[in-house]
DNA sequence: CACGCCGCATAGCAGATGTTATATTGTCGG
DNA sequence: CCGACAATATAACATCTGCTATGCGGCGTG
């Protein structure tokens, strides 16, 4: 029985990932190939991402070396905001 | 009225790719992470794929070394269809 | 032939998404 | 304080997608 395992709270996860990368909702949306409204709805719990969107998001996180499951980047390669 | 630029005919492209890989609509759908109905609608021109879906499809083609633009695999690495 | 199975086409409904528009909030400079 | 601006929240409408069910034709088996 495969329980689809959605991160229990997708909204926070998205916000967290976005914050770690210092991206606006619009920028993240563009990076994922979806619209701003979609990311906004995800973060505010208005909708749940499609399989494709979930896949894309996870792939994006991997690519960016971010762990969506945890609340932290967890690795030491922080480039942080050198401004 | 959007002059969105699609591969001139997405329906044929999908059919062609699917045929080259000898996949059923259901199998391709699963490989792409969408439903059978969606692939079926694409092939029959009922709907146009979302950005995400287009992206996934193109990525799938690259991964499978198939050129969606042409009607042929174009390369010699054919896995046969010895059946 | 009758039956079941598979691949495909189609339809309806609910939910997700894209687009556009409007409102709110916070920040910055005057 | 006021205005301008960016980022965000929200809404409405059209389209796409997921799911389910149905129908059709082909194919093999009894």
Establish if B30 touches chain A: CB-CB under 8 angstroms: no
Q: For residue B66, is pLDDT > 90?
A: no
Establish if B56 touches chain A: CB-CB under 8 angstroms: yes
Q: For residue B74, is pLDDT > 50?
A: no
Which of A32-41, A52-61, B45-54, B57-66 is least confident? B57-66
Q: How far apart are CA A50 and CA A58, in angstroms?
A: 12
Q: Decide: CB of B6 under 7 A of nucleic strand C.
A: no
Of B11, B6, B16, residue with least CA distance to B72: B16
3-state secondary structure of B77: coil
Q: How far is CA A72 from CA A31, A32, A54, B62, in A?
A: 20, 20, 19, 33
- End-to-end CA, chain A: 49
Alpha carbons within 13 angstroms on the beta-carbon side of residue A74 total: 13
Q: How far apart are CA A32 and CA A19, in angstroms?
A: 15
How would residue B68 be classed by pLDDT, with cut points 50, 70 and 90?
A: low
pLDDT, residue B61, reads 95
**What domains sit in chain A, N to C, each tagged with a CATH number?**
10-63 (1.10.260.40)
**Residues of A with Cβ-Cβ distance to B37 under 8 angstroms:** none
How would residue B81 be classed by pLDDT, with cut points 50, 70 and 90?
A: very low
Tokens of B12: 């044929």
Instruction: Say what the ipTM of the complex is.
Output: 0.80
The pLDDT tens digits of the residues spanning A11-54 come to: 999 999 999 999 999 999 999 999 999 999 999 999 999 999 99
Q: Decide: CB of A36 under 7 A of nucleic strand C.
A: yes
pLDDT, residue A71, reads 46
Report the distance from CA of residue B35 to the C1' of nucleotide D18 in Å, as an integer.
7
Of B47, B73, B50, residue with least CA distance to B62: B73
Q: For residue A68, is pLDDT > 90?
A: no
pLDDT, residue A56, reads 95
Residues making up chain B, counted from first to last: 83
């Amino acid at each position: 029985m495969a329980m689809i395992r959605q991160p229990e709270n997708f909204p926070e996860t998205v916000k967290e990932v976005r914050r770690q990368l210092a991206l606006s909702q619009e920028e993240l949306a563009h990076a994922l190939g979806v619209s701003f409204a979609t990311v906004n709805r995800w973060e505010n719990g208005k909708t749940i991402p499609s399989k494709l969107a979930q896949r894309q998001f996870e792939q994006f996180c991997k690519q960016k070396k971010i762990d969506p499951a945890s609340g932290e980047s967890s690795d030491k390669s922080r480039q942080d905001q050198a401004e």
